[in-house]
Structure 1
Amino acid sequence: MRTMTDSCLQLVDYRNAHPSAYSIFKRAIDILGSLVGLFFLALIFIPIALAITLENPGPVFYSQERYGLQGKRFKIYKFRSMVTNADQLKNKVKNEAKGLIFKNENDPRVTRVGRFLRQTSLDEIPQFWNVFLGEMSLVGTRPPTADEVKHYNDHHWRRLDVKPGITGEWQVSGRSNIKDFDQIVALDLQYQTRWHPLYDLSIILKTFQVVFARVGAC
């Protein structure tokens, strides 16, 4: 069984990684998509930054350490959608999910602006920087936190054989409506089974459909 210690190694062993992790075509799509996303980020940054700080003064961006491909740690970036002391208040919020994830549909820590950002997925836009750096992909798994991975077994670790993604099977299959961690793992492994160089494009197209329809957003 993999342990927390060897999961924290910063060198990725591609021998155990999924083929998508070293696909040149996938990386090309990621670079192109991240450049488009960063251009969009530049356009929307000022109005979103003003809205966030006017409602709840503090940082515009929220960053957190997450675990990516083969357990490599990195800092993920999002527009801040919660109050500034949200991490300290987490233990006061009921977890409505089952398993090694945390979800609450009406989380009181989420601001009004933050709820809009989540419903429209605009809070995710800064992650295009993570994609550009190669820490994430446009399509992959949801990157877990340290609190989650310390409870992983070998089956759970398999979901990190691909790069984490801004979107993925979970997001286009119901997103916030899916609150069972084992079901999320199953979807992540389904992605690995179904993946081919053009499969990411179909997931990206479905993501646009889900975002515009606001399916499973909260």
Structure 2
Amino acid sequence: MYSEAIELKEPTLIQVPPRLTVLEAVEFRKNCQELCQADTPPGKIIFDFSDTTFMDSSGLGALVSNFKLTKDKGIELLLKDVRPQVMAVLSLTGLNEVLPLEQTTNTETEKSTSKSEIVPPPTHPSIYSWIKRSIDVLGAIVGLVITAVLFVPIAIAIKLDSPGPIFFGQIRCGWMGKKFRMWKFRSMCANAEQMKSQVQNQIAGPLFKNDNDPRITKVGRFLRKTSLDEIPQFWNVLIGEMSLVGTRPPTPDEVEKYEVPEWQRLDVKPGMTGEWQVNGRSQIRNFEDVIRLDLQYQENWSLMYDIKLIFKTVFILFNKNSGAY
């Protein structure tokens, strides 16, 4: 069932389907786009969520896209009767504070549902797997012990090589697009973010890569080659923002450029390793390949598959031709 546009004099109502996943989300986006680009677009569009009890990352992506489109066109937008299951998704990403909402239903059960009882939807079997989470916690503890042992020599090397902090924190998008700060040992000069516009991007699409990026320090190049720059991410895994195995964590500016189907990669937690890691991440030159590998991980996921990818990653780290640039 797809979203159905109901033409009214003023405003225009779009009935959102019970499940807003990729197929429905694409249609949802298309309906809104057609309304906004009509010869006489409506002054106000209402998204009726009264029947919607499930929304994954694709649905979230379509909603964000529609919000930007209506804002650009100067069209008023309103989300009506958002159910608790969808509200949990909006709250996870902070969109409940951005999008205009109106509740007209008087369902007592929904009124009595506290925020603590509202759980975001299980967009993928791995999300609420307690065994996967247990492996993450155990692996993170071991990883943090290793990080503590290596901290002093790495910190000294970073400080002697270039001025600036030891750690580098960058905002990334996690499960369902929720933003978090991902930690690394600093491998670039302190003002690397400000210099990014001066460096040529050698790949097409939202990703950024330069094989000879001048911002990378001498110590940083070694840390990247050995992937030691990433071991502080064990902290992100321990607190549940990341997983040991998952999809590549994108930056917010990358997500800004996503089409609706590409949001599917956010249906699972980002990982320290994954298909993109063991399939030559430094050699990947197409954004489509990243999407393909991330969706391949989601499709093939199992606990045994995670364990296999972890062992493959360990093998890759000892391969002199592996590592990030």
What range is the shorter-chain TM-score in? over 0.9
Q: Does 1:180 align with 2:265?
A: no
Once the two structures are aligned, what percentage of the paired residues are identical? 54
Greater relative CO (CA pairs within 8 A, separation 6+): 1
Give the residue type in structure 2 aligned to 1:3.
Answer: V
Unpaired stretches in structure 1, ≥5 consecutive residues: none
CA contact (8 A) 1:140 1:168 kept: yes
CA RMSD of aligned residues (A): 1.8
CA deviations 1:164-199 (Å, max 9, x no partner) are: 000000010111101211110000000000001221
Query: SS of the residue aligned with 2:203?
Result: coil
Which of 232, 236, 241 is equivalent to 1:126?
232
Cα distance in structure 2, aligned partners of 1:8 and 1:40 = 32
Give the residue type in structure 2 aligned to 1:84.
Answer: A
Which of 201, 218, 222 is equivalent to 1:112?
218
**Matches for 1:1-218 after TM superposition, within 5 Å:** 1-3=62-64, 8-9=93-94, 14-15=120-121, 17-217=123-323, 218=325
Cα distance in structure 1, aligned partners of 2:95 and 2:138 = 26
CA contact (8 A) 2:122 2:128 kept: no
- When normalised by structure 2's length, the TM-score is 0.64
Cα distance in structure 2, aligned partners of 1:158 and 1:170 = 16
Give the residue type in structure 2 aligned to 1:101.
Answer: L
CA deviations 1:113-162 (Å, max 9, x no partner) are: 00000000000000000000000000011111111111111111100100
Higher Cα Rg, which structure: 2
Query: SS of the residue aligned with 1:202?
Result: helix
Query: SS of the residue aligned with 1:66?
Result: strand
Query: SS of the residue aligned with 1:57?
Result: coil
Give the residue type in structure 1 aligned to 2:290.
Answer: I
Question: Between Structure 1 and Structure 2, which shows a larger proportion of strand residues?
Answer: 2
Cα distance in structure 2, aligned partners of 1:36 and 1:150 = 35
Question: Structure 1 residues 101 and 13, CA, compared in 2 at 3 Å: closer, same or farther?
Answer: farther
Question: Structure 1 residues 13 and 160, CA, compared in 2 at 3 Å: closer, same or farther?
Answer: farther
The number of residues matched between the two structures is 218
Give the residue type in structure 1 aligned to 2:64.
Answer: T
Greater Cα offset, 1-10 or 117-126 = 1-10
Query: SS of the residue aligned with 1:39?
Result: helix
CA contact (8 A) 1:143 1:165 kept: yes
Query: SS of the residue aligned with 1:29?
Result: helix
Cα distance in structure 2, aligned partners of 1:156 and 1:214 = 32
